[in-house]
Amino acid sequence: MISLLKEATILSKGVYLQMVVNLKFLDDAIIRSNEPEEVLTFSYAKLGNRFIIPWRKVKGKLRRVVMEKQRGLGIEPNCHLKDDLCMRCPSCFLFGGTGETSSAKVPYNILARVLGETFISKEPVGEIQPYTANAIDEQTLSTGRGETGALFTLTKVPAETEFLGVITLKDPTSEIASILIDNIRRLSRLGARSVEWGRVKSEILGYRLSDREDISVYGLVSGENSELQKIDSLTLPEVDASYRKLDEQVKKLIESLG
Ligand SMILES: [Zn+2]
């Protein structure tokens, strides 16, 4: 029987808390993409055309929500993305950081404990009509920087579109699980920089504790059955207390490195 860990650890214990998450768009979203890795639709051989949300977009938003929350609790309020990570707070411990490039200039890196993969829309997309435009108009409206003639595409994702994703917590303690579950539930908006992304509703459909990552989004969307347990069946400590306790543990762990 695999259970949550008692203490936060530096070295992996090989325990994975996998949570299946349903994200529903409440508004029509117009998504602008101008980088190849920002492709927001994908044609799968078996699933057909689907809307997708790259994991780093979800991860970035989750991290911001955790940082806001811990700032509200007075924990490392000066920890900021991207170059001002403190490398010693719950947020850095969960989402990772590179010591050398942080302003903290510490000789260690932190590997992310929150892992995920691309979110995929539950239903195929009938027709995707990306609108490709020249970015020149936008440049004159903003700072005037940027490359002349850069192309971007606009894709509309209709309200009510639902996505499935799997968010995995590596080496979870009950405090870390409490923080992340609260975090996922408070995810109410996607896209920090681009206002085009709208309101979302997130719901954790269930979880599985395992010694490996054995649930995939592709499998779920394809209709594979995964045995999941109800998230409320986990007995977890209160969120604010969890941030404070994890903060203490992280600082002790980091001292032990020195
Ligand atoms: Zn930090």
How far, in Å, from the CA of 204 to the mean position of ligand 1?
A: 26
How far, in Å, from the CA of 112 to the mean position of ligand 1?
A: 12
pLDDT at residue 129, rounded to an integer? 60
Distance CA(238)–CA(175), nearest Å, equals 8
How far, in Å, from the CA of 11 to the mean position of ligand 1?
A: 19
How far, in Å, from the CA of 149 to the mean position of ligand 1?
A: 38
The residues pairing with 43 across neighbouring beta strands, listed in sequence order, are 49
Q: How many CB atoms lie within 10 A of CB 110?
A: 22
Distance CA(240)–CA(223), nearest Å, equals 37
Q: Residues 6 or more apart from 258 whose CB is under 8 A from it? A: none
How far, in Å, from the CA of 57 to the mean position of ligand 1?
A: 19
How far is C-alpha 56 from the chain's CA centre?
6
Buried b (16+ CB within 10 A) or exposed e, 226-246: eebeebeebebeebeebbbbb
Give ion ligand 1 contacts, CB < 5 A.
79, 86, 89, 91-92
How far, in Å, from the CA of 44 to the mean position of ligand 1?
A: 38
How far, in Å, from the CA of 189 to the mean position of ligand 1?
A: 22
pLDDT at residue 225, rounded to an integer? 80
pLDDT at residue 131, rounded to an integer? 60
* pLDDT tens for each residue of the chain, 258 residues long: 789 999 898 888 899 999 999 999 888 877 666 655 555 788 888 999 998 988 988 898 899 999 999 999 999 999 998 789 999 999 999 999 988 878 888 888 999 999 999 999 999 987 666 566 555 444 444 444 444 456 666 677 888 999 999 999 999 999 999 999 999 999 887 754 444 567 889 999 999 999 999 999 999 999 888 889 999 999 999 999 999 999 999 999 988 877
Buried b (16+ CB within 10 A) or exposed e, 125-142: beebeeeeeebeeebeee
How far, in Å, from the CA of 236 to the mean position of ligand 1?
A: 23
In this structure, what token pair is assigned to residue 14? 């090989």
How far, in Å, from the CA of 192 to the mean position of ligand 1?
A: 18
Distance CA(18)–CA(105), nearest Å, equals 33
pTM of the entire structure?
0.86
Nearest to 130 by CA among 26, 55, 23, 43: 43
How far, in Å, from the CA of 209 to the mean position of ligand 1?
A: 27
